[in-house]
Amino acid sequence: MTPDIPFEDPHPEVDEAAVAQELSVIAEEAKQLHTVDVYKQCLSFVDYTSLNATDTPAVAKQMAKKVNEFPSRYANIPNVAGICVYPTLVRDVYLTLHSERRVSIVSVGAGFPTSQTFYHVKKMECRMAIEAGADEVDVVMALHCFLANDHYSTFSQIADIKDNNIGRCRRLKVILETGALPSLQSVRVASVGCMKASADFLKTSTGKVTPGATPEAALVMCRAIKDFYERAHRRVGFKAAGGIATTADAVTYYAIVKHVLGEEWLRPALFRIGASSLPNRLLSDITGKEEAYF
């Protein structure tokens, strides 16, 4: 495990009533954010995702082709931030995506979506995804360890993957699977532990568990990120994923990030939204007509 980061959690107890009250304030702020400019920003944060058992190389190549052709089709609209696929399809995206791309290739790894496999398999899968061309890897926190109160194993796995496998990869995103955690308090504990283990991003959900992303979990995660930055002086990103399908959903998470973390986090390097159907919905609301491009 990496050396312990000098960070003592200043707010270890989560006040759920305070979370609800803060979200009501953010909901009012979000009403002012329904503008075309914000929708464009939200699109630029999207990790365009397909994680179906039926995905084929043709699916991955078609995703990359759409991203390649997007600037010529929509000249004044920013492209998505990333393309997210299973590790076996990373090479297909890599070979299809234009070399001058500014869109990241994202892969899930480490036994996604459950993390229920042998640790050496998790490490090897992440390494193989990176060797195939992934810029970023989204891994699931070992819930079976965390829920058994084995925090050392939970977080040492993340640190080890980061130290040994992600050297050539720009970002390691750690999925907390907040819908499977028993309380907002556990979301806070998991967030702090993953950041101390050198996670580059905290991500809400795999999208395979109900509920997926929730505003409550997102707020707790963003508050933890803010406290970590103020004390450890390292910016950690936030990714909302899991059931985010509408423009209103996207604006909700945009508003949370803006309210808690500020304008500095409103860029793809620090904020992502994982989604499959959302890009078309955002595009439709940007152009004012029904779009089915993605």
Catalytic (active-site) positions? 138, 203, 239
| Amino acid type, 45 | F
Q: Record the tokens describing residue 108, joined without a space.
A: 């899930």
CA dihedral of 66, 69, 73, 76, whole degrees rounded to 10? 100
b/e per residue, 272-288, with b = 16+ CB within 10 A?
A: bbbbbebbbbbbbbbee
Q: Cα–Cα distance between 274 and 240 in angstroms, integer? A: 6
Q: Record the tokens describing residue 278, joined without a space.
A: 């959302």
Neighbours of 219 (CB within 10 A): 24
b/e per residue, 162-196, with b = 16+ CB within 10 A?
A: beebbeebebbbbbbbbbbbeebebbbbbbbbbbb
- What are φ and ψ of residue 287, in 5° steps? -85, -20
Q: Are 114 and 140 in contact (CB under 8 A)?
A: yes
- Residue 58 makes CB contacts below 8 A (sequence gap 6+) with none
